[in-house]
Amino acid sequence: MLEAIGNGFMSGLVICTFFGPIFFMLTDLGLKGNLRGVLYLSLGTFLSDVLTILIVYFIAQSLVKHTTLINALYIAGGLVLVYIGFKSFTKTKIDTAHPVVDRKHLRQLFVKGFLINSTNPNVFFFWFGAVMFAVNLYKGNTSFVFAHFVTTVVMVLTTDIGKGYGASLLRPYVNDKAMLLLGKLSGIIIMGFGVKLMFFH
């Protein structure tokens, strides 16, 4: 169980290095001092992640007895992780564009966090690969998989809030080059997970 929690913690650390639209929305809200907005946006993203993981997990569980199909899903999940990692590793610049959000309506921020995260194909495909990896790693042990992903999503929620809270303090010291290098490191780690899922499951 401690191993599952530790793996979930590490997964959360990897995910927190992603620089997607939610990251820049959180940073924008933090720089403007809208910490309640940061919280609501993070909670919307959190709910989206939880629902996506549950959907993917139940799909994986229903197919676990179909050996040929489950092996194909391992390969598909691994390819997706390699693709996402490769895109992160080969990125040559950080896109600092972000959507305009209305700070006066916290419920709207919650909905925006949920919808932006839910409609991003990369989010679904990442969790698809991550769930397939965890199901294989723990041999379908539900309690271990549960501990893994509870730790992961709590870690993601905590770091999302931390990104917004620390934006005004940290942003002046973190240039685009440092963010790009961090993204490349994240890409290498994700590609490693993908290769393991495809060939060493």
Q: How many domains does the chain have?
A: 1
**Whole-model pTM over 0.85:** no
Range of the domain at 58: 2-199
**DSSP state, residue 173:** G
Q: Assess contact for 198 and 78: CB atoms under 8 A.
A: yes
Tokens of 54: 């549950």
Q: What is the pLDDT of residues 159-184, one digit of tens each?
A: 888 888 887 677 667 666 777 776 77
**In the prediction, which pLDDT does 44 show?**
92
Mean pLDDT (the chain, rounded):
77
Question: For residue 2, what are the contacts with CB-CB under 8 A and spacing of at least 6?
Answer: none
Name residue 146's amino acid.
Answer: F
Q: Which residue has the tokens 């997706």?
A: 80
The gap from C-alpha 80 to its chain's centroid, in whole angstroms, comes to 14
**In the prediction, which pLDDT does 69 show?**
66
Q: Answer whether residue 50 shows pLDDT above 90.
A: yes
Q: What is the pLDDT of residues 53-90, one digit of tens each?
A: 888 888 766 665 666 766 776 777 778 778 877 887 88
**DSSP state, residue 93:** S
